[in-house]
A = this chain, B = another copy of it.
Amino acid sequence: MNARFYTPGITPGALIELSAEESQHATRVLRLGVGAAVRVFDGEGREFSAVIVDTAKKGVCLAVGPATVPAMEPNIAVTLVQAVLKGDKMDDVVRDAVMLGVAAIQPVVTERSEVSLVALERGARRERWERVAIASTKQCGRAVVPTIAPPALLWRSLFTPPGAFTVMCVEPGLPAGGGSIWSLPEVAPPVVRLMVGPEGGWTPEEVGRGAAGATLVTLGKRTLRADAMAIVALSALYTRWRDV
């Protein structure tokens, strides 16, 4: 497949200029020159073939050709509500979740999170995750860049997106229970909120509050690493609801 670049608001047949970051990827990393056939996508589901016509400027210029068919989006719109993990582990979760097909990611700070909203803001972490999401979108063939919502405290996520069917991943052997993935309804809900906790797990209060509006699910009998929960849960959900 030709190299793919992200640029919002593409007009078919027009000449467009890539961002500085995307231009650098094209010329410095992939060493593409004038005449190279590429693809461009707008992040909202549209993809086009394109040809590089100028690399002299700071932004690489492309002539946009006919529309092409990007990787199919899942039918179920999953928002991953993910407790922010330590170090760079959140980057991997964002990358994997985008690759698997989530519609959006809501980073949340929970009682046992080791990081604060203020620290996330200061570190411009959301902007970093947006770059990770774009890079993963380019790689996996999607033309939709999932939204990275501003990090929020956990309780706020209970209302976003409204009307979503909520699945809360809990550890095996929790007193509150937690059925298997097969305890979920057979017919897939159109909008799903998938909640994944931090390294130290949810507090009993968080599980209690979650249980009021969510279906508790345990992913097998073995203890999963926190940074592997999202990819395993998403794989299991899409499989269970035949959205693969």
Interface residues of A (CB under 8 A from B): 71-72, 74, 95-96, 99-101, 139-142, 172, 180-182, 219-225, 228, 231-232, 235-236, 238-240, 242, 244
* Number of identical monomers bound together in the oligomeric complex: 2
Contact yes or no, A238 B223, CB < 8 A: no
Query: Chain B's nearest CB lies how many Å from the CB of A215?
Result: 15
Given A140-B223, A182-B242, 6 more A-B residue pairs with CB atoms under 8 Å apart are A99-B228, A180-B244, A181-B239, A220-B238, A231-B235, A236-B239
A221 partner residues in chain B, CB cutoff 8 A: 71-72, 141, 244
- Choose among B74, B182, B219, B223 the residue that contacts A141 (Cβ–Cβ < 8 A): B223
Closest to A240 in B: B239
Closest to A237 in B: B239
A95 partner residues in chain B, CB cutoff 8 A: 225
24 A-B interface contacts by CB (under 8 A): A71-B221, A72-B221, A72-B222, A95-B225, A99-B222, A99-B223, A99-B228, A100-B224, A100-B232, A139-B223, A139-B225, A140-B222, A140-B223, A141-B222, A142-B222, A181-B239, A181-B244, A231-B232, A231-B235, A232-B235, A235-B239, A236-B236, A236-B238, A236-B239
Query: Chain B's nearest CB lies how many Å from the CB of A2?
Result: 13
Contact yes or no, A244 B228, CB < 8 A: no
- Choose among B181, B182, B219, B231 the residue that contacts A228 (Cβ–Cβ < 8 A): B231
Contact yes or no, A220 B236, CB < 8 A: no
Given the contacts A100-B232, A236-B235, A239-B239, A222 and B71 also touching, CB distance less than 8 Å: yes
